[in-house]
Structures are given as structure tokens and as C-alpha cells.
Amino acid sequence: MYRIHKEGKKLLLLSAALFSLIFAGLTLLLPNYPGVALGVGGFELFIFLVFLQFFRIPKKNIVKNPLHIIAPADGKIVVIEETEETEYFKDRRIQISIFMSPINVHNNLNPISGVVKYFRYHPGKFLVAWHPKSSTENERTTTVIRRADGQEVLFRQIAGALAKRICWYIKEGVQVEQGQEFGFIKFGSRVDIFLPLGTKITCELNQKSVGGETVIAHLA
């Protein structure tokens, strides 16, 4: 079962109206060349179905567990490494990165429950998502959630070459729930998550993740 995300409804309605007008116009203007209208109409239908796929939201089985870190996005795990987090923690963390391709679901979900202690939006470039500087130079958001026991997890939406708009639905000081939607990246890109050293990682490189369902780590 799927539903259409609110971020895509306007685009889908406008594109359907525009494509219909173009098809009708070609049919009227070129009555002796029906193949032209059919060819353009077929291409328009293909584009519409691509848009529809971008904004689909499937029903998911989200099981909340305070010890689990769940994947914030559908996609492919492309990074698991120890790195320096320079914006908030300013120390060494375990980074897990999930790449969202154009065929993935594009909404983003909270990996844990807690209070939003930090949120920032950073305008920036649109380098390809796997570029080494994309996490620090691209358009992005940074969110930190603090659990009830004081442990904090940082995650970052990062726009890529195709993604030109990041959407978010949270703000500092708000209590959020694990698996609850916190944002959307139009046409995909990447989500990074930064965990404390010593966190038990339960995912692998190149593994496919399902946002809200795949457990990527356990907190102590």
C-alpha cells in the first residue's frame, strides 16, 4: 500500500495538467500525424510515472526500541567509518552514510526517540552525493536528538546533484518519536548519521536499508 507524499502532490497535479494540455494541443494541431501525439504522450506518461515513484510513501512496520538506531532513510549503506564530526560534537564519531538513489523512497525518519537539542539548515552547493566534500559544502541540515539517558545522535540530510530542495518538519526543543518523519529530500541524495564510539554496528557496507525498519546500530 502506498500514499503520495505531500511534497509531491502539487508537482504531480501541475505536471498532469501540463502534459494533458500538450497532448491535446498536438492532437488538434497535427491531426494527420497521430504518431507524434502518441509518442509525446508516451514520453509524458513515463516522466509522470517517474515523478510518482519519487513521491511514493509505502506503509512500513516500525518497531520502536530505545536501544536500537534505525535507518533514517531507504537506500544503500555506502560509508561505515570513524571520522571527526566538526559541527556539533567536535570529536571522533562513527559515521554511517546512506545513499538515496532516484528509485528509493525519499522521506526521512527519526533514528531514535528524544528531544531535538540542535537543528541547523546550511545552504550550499550541489556536488554529487559521493563527493568527499558533499557533507560539508552541499546544502544540508544537521539535527541532534538527545535520548532520555543523555546520549545524543546526530544526523544530516545532504542534497546532491539532482536534489535541489531539502524539507524538514522539526525544530529545537520538540520531543520526537523513533520512526516519525522528520524530513524529505526531493529527488534523493544522502543521509549521514554520527554515533558515539563504541556503538555496536549491526549493518554492513553496500547493505540495502529500509527507513524505519532496518536496525543499523545498538546503543549501550
- Mean pLDDT rounded to a whole number for the chain: 87
Lowest mean pLDDT among 28-32, 169-173, 181-185: 28-32
166 pLDDT more than 90: no
What letter would DSSP give residue 50?
H
127 pLDDT more than 70: no
Per-residue pLDDT of 31-90, as tens digits, reads 888 888 888 888 888 888 888 887 888 888 888 999 999 999 999 999 999 999 999 999
Nearest of 104, 82, 101, 102 to residue 93 by alpha carbon: 82
pLDDT value at residue 12 = 87
CA 25 distance to own-chain centroid:
37
Of residues 4 and 160, more confidence is placed in 4
Coil/strand/helix, residue 135: helix
Show which residues are catalytic.
189
Of residues 2 and 175, more confidence is placed in 175
Note if the pTM is more than 0.95: no
